[in-house]
Amino acid sequence: MTNLTPASAPTVADAADTLTPTTGPTGRPARAGWRMLLPSMTPWLALGLVLVVGITLFGIIAVYLVGDPKQIRDQGLTPPSAQFLLGTTQTGQDVLAQLAHATRGSLQIGVLVGILTTALSAFFGIYGAYRGGIVDEAFSLLSNVFLVIPGLPLVIVISGFVPRESRGVWTIVVVLALTSWAASARVLRAQTLSVRNRDYVAASKVAGEKPWRVIVVEILPNLLPVIASQFVFAVIAAILGEAGLAFIGLGASNSATLGTMLFYAQNGYALSLGAWWWFVPPGLIIALFGMGLSLVNFSIDEIINPKLRNLRRHRRRARQVARTQRGPARRRTDAPGAGSPGANLSEESPR
């Protein structure tokens, strides 16, 4: 997430504005080659990207724009006002400032866990399936066992045993990654098994390629969309998992995440005091970010499963036929030839 460093410091709304025009290309010619691997733009994907990029930018940039999140004032529990856009906590801390820092913390943990989980699942899933035999059996058994052992209780028990002082961000990251790689590994194993027996893989083996090269060059590219989708889900799961842990007071010490915000809100009786501005925004950010990532994933799904994409094209064609039969009065930009994938922004247009 640190590779996104825009020169100016726009707000979330600006980010959304600059993003929107680029997300709405209509009437592009049919794509070929590697571009088939890129998802085609739909309103839902555009919304997803706006949410993800907007919240990421908020986490990166807003930290520098807001004041000290820990500063205590004598204006406790004030509702949102011009001075404090999201009101204050019980001890008069600025909720917006806390939200900015917490968003950054949550995103960091999400991305770290996402990378670690993806690496673990790729190793156990792809390498095991490629090697086959006893290694495959062992890895597959391991991931199946981890799949059925309930993750969160395990995480809670592990975090409970680690003393509070030594419970840093990395502890949480490792624990979350260790308990969440199994499902992805199982999917990757199945995919690898089907790729492994294709002719070109056999050919490169016969040609004397080293195992790591066969895996990275011949097998991995086939699995990239699946891995991308798994990474996205791993990030969502990690942010949710960390928020849950932090909410029950088992988060990393000295960390500020959306979960710890909710923890303090709950323990500061935000609920019974009616301070909705304190506990609504953190959860909303998590939910919207998760929704954004899921929407992006929908588009990745269409690459993995071309059936879904064909379905969308059929659907659009059927709708166009219906529309032309109804008469050209309410026809929109889509000319008769607009069956190309680029034109599908009109697909979800208001009926």
Binding site for another protein (CB under 8 A): 44, 141, 144-145, 147-154, 156-163, 166, 183, 236, 240, 243-244, 247-250, 262, 266, 271-272, 274, 276, 279-280, 282-283, 286-291, 293-295, 298, 305, 307-308, 311, 315, 318-319, 348, 351
Give the SS3 label for residue 17: helix
* Least separation in angstroms between CB 164 and another protein: 9
CB of 315 to another protein, least distance (A): 4
**Cβ closer to another protein: 23 or 294?**
294
The CA-to-CA distance between both ends of the chain, in Å, stands at 38
Burial profile 175-187: b = 16 or more Cβ within 10 angstroms, e = fewer? bbbbbbbbbbbbb
Q: How far is the CB of 268 from another protein (least distance, A)?
A: 13
Of 107, 134, 123, residue with least CA distance to 286: 107
**Shortest CB 344 distance to another protein, Å:** 12
C-alpha–C-alpha distance, residues 214 and 327, integer Å:
56
Q: How far is the CB of 301 from another protein (least distance, A)?
A: 8
From 66, 80, 75, select the one nearest 93 (Cα to Cα).
75
Q: How far is Cα 195 from Cα 218, in angstroms, rounded to an integer?
A: 9
Nearer to another protein, 210 or 315 (CB): 315
- Cβ closer to another protein: 36 or 157? 157
Smallest separation, CB 132 to another protein (Å): 17
- Residue closer to another protein by CB (options 150, 327) is 150
Output 214 or 237, the one with its CB closest to another protein.
237
Which is closer to another protein, CB of 69 or CB of 151? 151
Of 213 and 317, which CB lies nearer to another protein in the complex structure? Answer: 317
In angstroms, what CA-CA distances link 294 with 243, 301, 311?
Answer: 18, 10, 20
Give strand pairing partners of 88.
Answer: 94
- How far, in Å, CA of 201 to CA of 275, rounded? 60
Minimal distance, residue 150 CB to another protein, in Å: 4
**Please, what is the minimum distance in Å from the beta carbon of residue 161 to another protein?**
5
Q: What is d(CA 69, CA 48) in angstroms, rounded to the nearest whole number? A: 29
Per the DSSP assignment, residues forming a β-bridge with 94 are 88
Q: How far is CA 329 from CA 111, 117, 127, 332, 338, in A?
A: 49, 53, 58, 9, 18
Report the C-alpha gap between 39 and 276 in whole angstroms: 38
> Closer CB to another protein, residue 164 or residue 210?
164
